[in-house]
Structure 1
Amino acid sequence: MLTMIIVALITIILFGFCIAPVNGRRRRNRAVGFFHPYTNDGGGGERVLWCAVRGIQEEIPDLDCCIYTGDHDATPQSLMARALDRFGVTLLSPPKVVHLYKRKWIEETTYPHFTMIGQSLGSMYLAWEALCKFTPLYYFDTSGYAFTYPLARLFGCKVICYTHYPTISSDMLSRVRDRSLMYNNDALITKSVWLSRCKIVYYTFFSCLYGIVGSCAHLAMVNSSWTKSHIERLWKIPDRIKRVYPPCDTSGLQVLPLERSTKIPVIISVAQFRPEKAHTLQLEAFSAAIKRLDPTLPKPKFQIVGSCRNKSDDDRLQMLKKKAIELNISEQVEFHKNVTYRDLVGLLGGAVAGIHSMTDEHFGISVVEYMAAGAIPIAHNSAGPKMDIVLDEDGQQTGFLACTVEEYADAIVRTVTMSETERLKVAAAARRRARRFSEQRFYDDFKAAVRPILCHVSR
């Protein structure tokens, strides 16, 4: 059955290339259609969406912006208000909204096995619904659904994308070869040589398909050096790939004072409640750190801030609360779900450090937000944080990188026990580095990237 689906997919792709010129003459609305099925996820991807809409509105004011969303209660006014309330982004006008009713076909729970190929094919079905309802001049994917690009070209659209991370990467293949246990490589696979080999074949074949569909983009913006290197290797269109760092609220957060109350040090974590964010590791590291601290000193507080997209995320949040009880740290841990932008700023303003623990985080907007707010970052020693963000600024350390529970615990202890003078020195350097990833920098680089694609649109 899977083989038949894949053959059908390849046929659609090839067929699309053959007839795209014919369909290119079909009537298309003078608009940019943003394919973003989850406009309530509350993460960095949604911030990119609203800043991209704002960037298009500034660049060509008379070009409509349309949002393809599976959130049925979304309206032009509610989305405009959400962009402001949650992210501090002021849109110049309300976007048009096209509601999608086939979103279940991209839910990971729909595909217990072969999840990547299932979601990819499901995204094509969802994009078909979107483009049949409203066909824009420009199709802009801000959620990473590369398998929709050939379909958009079939409808005669110019395809633009902002890729946060590759759906498949050489790092994922390496972990399967090494039989490393992780959220996307469970114990059943790692314990079996035969199953691991089968998964390698599956991943290799999928990466070939991913390369084919990704190469259909007329412009691919990527968010980091790590993502850029992988996408160039997979899609093989280096002249159409531009690195555009995501918009981080550095200006709004940099007005916060660097001085913090250290009577009860606050550690913060900002991330969606998703498995790859590794919240359990954070709790274990915080528990280990408390045991290493002087028992006569006040225990630090840990604030975990995140958003929930669906029931799976809600269930994960409940499991984390139970984990805190098991580790006997529930009195020191606070959970904040779906907070507003204003409340998030307030929480960041009281933290001395911020924890990030996702392996191969493509960029790490939350890490930059910590640095801009004056909270010393303790980030995972891989990908975006390692290559782009937590680097020395003018020879001064800007934060800590860690991998294991022990390394995170060490960094927490070092942060909460360092002198105020040393903490301020590190925090100030981190804040200076965060300016490299400002929202204005995003707008400048974003407009420079899309301008050649949009240049034929009359003003």
Structure 2
Amino acid sequence: MASRILLSALAPATLILAFIIRIIAAAVRFRRSRKKAVGFFHPYTNDGGGGERVLWCAVKAVQEELPDLDCVIYTGDHDASPQSLAARAIDRFGVKLINPPQVVHLYKRKWIEETTYPRFTMIGQSLGSVYLSWEALCKYTPLYYFDTSGYAFTYPVARMFGCKVICYTHYPTISLDMLSRVHARSSMYNNDALIAKSVFFSQCKVIYYKLFSLLYGMVGSCAHLAMVNSSWTQSHIQKLWGISARIFRVYPPCDTSGLQMLPLERSTTPIKIISVAQFRPEKAHPLQLEAFAVVLKNLDADLPRPKLQFVGSCRNEADEKRLQHLKDRAIELKVDNDVEFHKNVTYSELVSLLGGAAAGIHSMIDEHFGISVVEYMASGAIPIGLFPNLLIDKGWQLGWSGWVRAAHNSAGPRMDIVLPEDGKQTGYLAENVQEYAEAILKIIKMPVPERLEMAAAARRRASRFSEQRFYEDFKAAFRPVISRS
């Protein structure tokens, strides 16, 4: 009996050891046949978010800087082809690639799906990414391995295959804010209410997070070059990975030049409030809906009734369900006649929607950067952001300071984007649903000249985050790695 228990306990460790041996054997075999190419690890090439825009701009930057290098996309989207991806880059993001990229299809993407891991999702997806990267590198071993999706656990694998490891990190898999939130027992989308209510489970989760952060730091330090998208991400990655000399802040590419061509004056019958974000739990769409319901309840009878437009993409079935729940919630709140849903729109459709909006809503807590916020500002829509003043455990607080009273000190838009320009206010930050609603009402009631003045200041601020600046900063960070190869 005891021997059976021992064998069952050793079985997982034996499987892991066997897999590690397989990785090492494959690495020894394939590293000799590395191709003169850059392999972009981006399993979801149809997510439609800011990460996908970064991917295509990164591919274009490499093609411009090193035309003799092939660009290869590792994707789990089986219908993707070189031509369809090049067309998608233009249609969805207005990015014209010099040449269509090569495509390597991955068939083990289920191992990084969140639905595969109902519990211990973070470590499950991270270990699953190791398996997926092994599949990718066995099929095609490039000279440069470029992760644009944040799968840091793949970096040691890529190094074993002899690749130079480069990454563009949008946000850390685990952050000091997440640890603080569990310490404070705050319930959120990534901290179940059952755990938050229990001292014991919260302490267990803190230990789990701390152990994971140590592992995350070890694998992240394997990167030869780490580009990050904001001051917030840079601060966290520097503390977790400990490779400050190899970390460069490269703001993500935003179509500020194209959007700035839109006229600032626009129709206000009705006033349109736009929300651009993927239909993911951290984007907090239901909160926006509740705030909008408060707006309609408190709207003066003589004011025009506004319209809320949700614009976003769905990556998978879980996102589709979230979108349906959002539609159902609009009916429950009796605002469905004043709300529109636009799913998986083309880039030209997005520009058209932004051109008609008076304001833009953003509600993700601890947003790493916030491309949509820049897009609001560049297009002439006044941004409204919700950044709650969370209880931060003093042992983990990073100690940033800022200009908006009681706004969360760790949010990307808060640190880099929604700041005064030439002494002029560029948007609103709020702490709760009521303040969010008040900010929307302020914009609705604001005299047109005052609204245009704020929109113009926001537009000037947005010009700091242009696509051209991304290309310049990206190439400047990339060149030293290439020159040492």
TM-score bin (small chain): over 0.9
Match of 1:446 in 2: 474
Deviation at 1:297, TM superposition (A): 2.1
Q: CA-to-partner distance for each residue in 1:226-284, whole Å, 9 max, x for gaps?
A: 00000000000000000000000101100000001122100000000000000000000
Structure 1 unpaired stretches of 5+: none
- The whole-number CA distance in structure 1 between the counterparts of 2:72 and 2:342 is 31
1:2 and 1:410, CA in 2 relative to 1: closer, same or farther beyond 3 A? farther
Match of 1:244 in 2: 250
Match of 1:436 in 2: 464
**AA of the residue aligned to 1:341:** Y
| SS of the residue 1:26 aligns to | helix
Match of 1:226 in 2: 232
Deviation at 1:23, TM superposition (A): 6.9
Q: How does 1:358-377 map to 2 (within 5 A)?
A: 358-377=364-383
Match of 1:211 in 2: 217
- The whole-number CA distance in structure 2 between the counterparts of 1:134 and 1:142 is 17
Match of 1:170 in 2: 176
Q: How does 1:16-55 map to 2 (within 5 A)?
A: 26-55=32-61
Deviation at 1:53, TM superposition (A): 0.1
Match of 2:353 in 1: 347
| SS of the residue 1:440 aligns to | helix
Match of 1:394 in 2: 422
Match of 2:63 in 1: 57
**AA of the residue aligned to 1:437:** F
1:367 and 1:33, CA in 2 relative to 1: closer, same or farther beyond 3 A? same
Q: How does 1:59-458 map to 2 (within 5 A)?
A: 59-381=65-387, 382=408, 383-455=411-483
- The whole-number CA distance in structure 2 between the counterparts of 1:338 and 1:151 is 34
1:242 and 1:4, CA in 2 relative to 1: closer, same or farther beyond 3 A? farther
Q: TM-score, normalised by structure 1?
A: 0.96
Decide whether the 8 Å contact of 1:266 with 1:350 is kept in 2: yes
Decide whether the 8 Å contact of 2:30 with 2:138 is kept in 1: no
Q: CA-to-partner distance for each residue in 1:302-356, whole Å, 9 max, x for gaps?
A: 0000100111111110000010011110010000000000000000000000000
- The whole-number CA distance in structure 2 between the counterparts of 1:132 and 1:264 is 55
| SS of the residue 2:342 aligns to | strand
Decide whether the 8 Å contact of 1:24 with 1:157 is kept in 2: no
- The whole-number CA distance in structure 2 between the counterparts of 1:429 and 1:65 is 39
Decide whether the 8 Å contact of 1:17 with 1:150 is kept in 2: no
Decide whether the 8 Å contact of 1:17 with 1:153 is kept in 2: no
- The whole-number CA distance in structure 1 between the counterparts of 2:322 and 2:190 is 16
- Runs of 4+ aligned residues of structure 1 deviating over 6 Å after TM superposition are 1-20
- The whole-number CA distance in structure 1 between the counterparts of 2:303 and 2:9 is 59
**AA of the residue aligned to 1:342:** S
Q: CA-to-partner distance for each residue in 1:174-211, whole Å, 9 max, x for gaps?
A: 11011101000111101111110110010000000000
| SS of the residue 2:304 aligns to | coil
Q: CA-to-partner distance for each residue in 1:5-26, whole Å, 9 max, x for gaps?
A: 6898799889989998x67951
- The whole-number CA distance in structure 1 between the counterparts of 2:50 and 2:147 is 15
Q: CA-to-partner distance for each residue in 1:41-98, whole Å, 9 max, x for gaps?
A: 0000000000000000000011000000000000000000000000000000000000
- The whole-number CA distance in structure 1 between the counterparts of 2:119 and 2:348 is 40
Decide whether the 8 Å contact of 2:30 with 2:141 is kept in 1: no
**AA of the residue aligned to 2:53:** R
| SS of the residue 2:47 aligns to | coil
1:131 and 1:176, CA in 2 relative to 1: closer, same or farther beyond 3 A? same
Matched residues, percent identical? 72
Decide whether the 8 Å contact of 2:327 with 2:336 is kept in 1: yes
Decide whether the 8 Å contact of 2:42 with 2:75 is kept in 1: yes
1:314 and 1:16, CA in 2 relative to 1: closer, same or farther beyond 3 A? closer
Q: TM-score, normalised by structure 2?
A: 0.91
1:65 and 1:405, CA in 2 relative to 1: closer, same or farther beyond 3 A? same
- The whole-number CA distance in structure 1 between the counterparts of 2:172 and 2:210 is 14
| SS of the residue 1:453 aligns to | helix
**AA of the residue aligned to 1:235:** W
Decide whether the 8 Å contact of 1:223 with 1:244 is kept in 2: yes
- The whole-number CA distance in structure 1 between the counterparts of 2:484 and 2:213 is 34
Decide whether the 8 Å contact of 2:266 with 2:358 is kept in 1: yes
Decide whether the 8 Å contact of 1:160 with 1:220 is kept in 2: yes
Decide whether the 8 Å contact of 1:13 with 1:151 is kept in 2: no
1:62 and 1:2, CA in 2 relative to 1: closer, same or farther beyond 3 A? farther
| SS of the residue 2:107 aligns to | coil
**AA of the residue aligned to 2:443:** T
**AA of the residue aligned to 2:465:** F
Decide whether the 8 Å contact of 2:73 with 2:101 is kept in 1: yes
1:129 and 1:24, CA in 2 relative to 1: closer, same or farther beyond 3 A? closer
Q: CA RMSD in A?
A: 2.1
**AA of the residue aligned to 1:402:** A
